[in-house]
Amino acid sequence: MQVVVIGAANIDIITKSKAAIIPGDSNPADIKLKAGGVARNIAAMLALRKIDVDLITAIGDDPFGNLLRESCIGIGINTDAWIVKNNISTGVYLASLENNGELYAGFNATTAPESIRTAELTKHKNRIKDADLLILDLNLSEKIIALAIELRNEQPIMVDAVSASKALRVKSVLGKIDILKINRLEAEALTGITLDTKQRVKQAAYSLVNSGVKRVFITLGMAGVCAADANTALFVPAVPIVVKDVTGAGDAFSAGIAMKYTKDLRAQAEAGITLAAEHLGRNS
């Protein structure tokens, strides 16, 4: 299986409070610096499971960029197609976690992937076209998203929506997406439906399928996942787990469904939940 992932790679700075966070005060915390970014995280989880994966991203010509690239090479991610620029900074994501591992606040300066130009991506058109699966995260400009889809020539494409605002970047090309992974907020942004009941979750899923998406996975936190295609919509429960760190759990789910993209809807959803649960339960 050959996978190409296009999107964000950045440095994550994770702070986890040792007690409940007190706003406006200095809070004792553990602080970690690690490689991150939605596309990088998905690529890493695939590479660690011995899947052949290429990551296409943009970084700055700076120490964070060098650190990020070395870490990716170290786990088997192919970085030959990385775009290194001296006029941008490598992306940084700062997450502040409560002592129970839940996200208190997140901050990002991760615009580097949006600087990718048409000619820079077209240079890798054969790599993109020939992969068994292309995965896009939406930390990309609409122009680059459209180009990547065009280069696939109707071969399988999976999209991770990243955020509610960035999810709108694929609204006009939903009919060309084979697998769409979104969370509750992203589904609400794309469909205009408030997902406050199971029936409305199903309604949103079917709305996206009717827009042309072949398979939709809406992650619902501890309520599990709603998975839908043209034939059915089903709910798969979450795995009970003691949460240690929520950062990257959605990316783990994406990696899980990517690994099983040729399987049936339930098997895909279960694979995503299993990988996300493993990630939630370990110290990152």
pLDDT tens digits, 170-225: 999 999 999 999 999 999 999 999 999 999 999 999 999 999 999 999 999 889 99
Digit-coded pLDDT (tens) for 43-96: 999 999 999 999 999 999 999 999 999 999 999 999 999 999 999 999 998 989
pLDDT band per the 50, 70, 90 thresholds, residue 284: very low
User: Rounded to an integer, what distance in angstroms lies between the CA atom of residue 209 and that of residue 230?
Assistant: 6
Q: What is the CA radius of gyration of the chain?
A: 18
Calculate what percentage of the chain has a pLDDT beyond 70.
97
The kind and range of the H/E element at 122 are helix 118-122
Alpha helix segments (H runs only) across 79-230: 118-122, 125-130, 142-152, 164-167, 184-191, 198-210
Please, what is the average pLDDT of the chain? 94
Span 226-277, pLDDT tens digits: 999 999 999 999 887 766 666 678 999 999 999 999 999 999 999 999 999 8
The per-residue pLDDT for 92 is 93
What domains are defined for the chain? 2-280 (3.40.1190.20)
CA gap 208, 244 in Å, rounded: 33
Q: Within 13 A of 53's CA, how many CA atoms are on the CB side?
A: 28
Is residue 128 packed enough to be buried (19+ CB in 10 Å), middle (13-18) or exposed (0-12)? buried
Q: Token digits for 107?
A: 């901050």
**102 pLDDT tier (thresholds 50, 70, 90):** confident
What percent of the chain is predicted at pLDDT more than 90? 86
Whose CA is closest to 156, among 198, 188, 191, 128?
128
Residue type, 86: N
